[in-house]
Amino acid sequence: MDPRVVKPHTPVSLIVSSVLIAALVLGFILFAMFQSGRGITDARMRGTVVAKEFTPQAERQITLGRQGGVSARDKEGTYLLTVEVQQSDGTKKSYYVEIMKKDQYDSIKVGDSFDVGPYLVK
């Protein structure tokens, strides 16, 4: 048996390049994580309710489920809110949001702050 011990020699350039590549990959992943959250923030549009409108259209809505189930509900009409949202350039843009539930529509008053984003991004 040979008493010599072989120690592998790793070049310094290989270690430095491996660390640089790992840092670049980590930086790219962090950058992508921060950029992916930006779309959600931009979609959130908070504005002021400037008008409420109820259009009576009594109807029965029948819904067929995926499993074959049938459900029905009576709808009195259309509950519509007009919300003005301040844009980044300083102008105001009006959004029309249909509210499905009467009690939610009744709880909102003209002049209230309202988040339009969840209703437009579905």
Q: Is the pLDDT of residue 122 over 60?
A: no
Of 30-34, 51-55, 117-121, which range is least confident?
Answer: 117-121
Say what the pLDDT of residue 43 is: 64
Q: Rounded to whole angstroms, how far apart are CA atoms 72 and 77? A: 15
3 state DSSP class of 109: coil
User: What is the band of 102 on the pLDDT scale with cuts at 50, 70, 90?
Assistant: confident
Supply the pTM of this predicted model: 0.55
Q: What are the strands of the beta sheet with 113-115, ordered from one edge?
A: 92-99, 70-86, 46-64, 113-115
pLDDT tens-digit profile of 52-62? 998 888 888 88
Q: In terms of Cα–Cα distance, which of 56, 44, 46 is closest to 80?
A: 56
Break the chain into its structural domains and give their ranges: 46-120
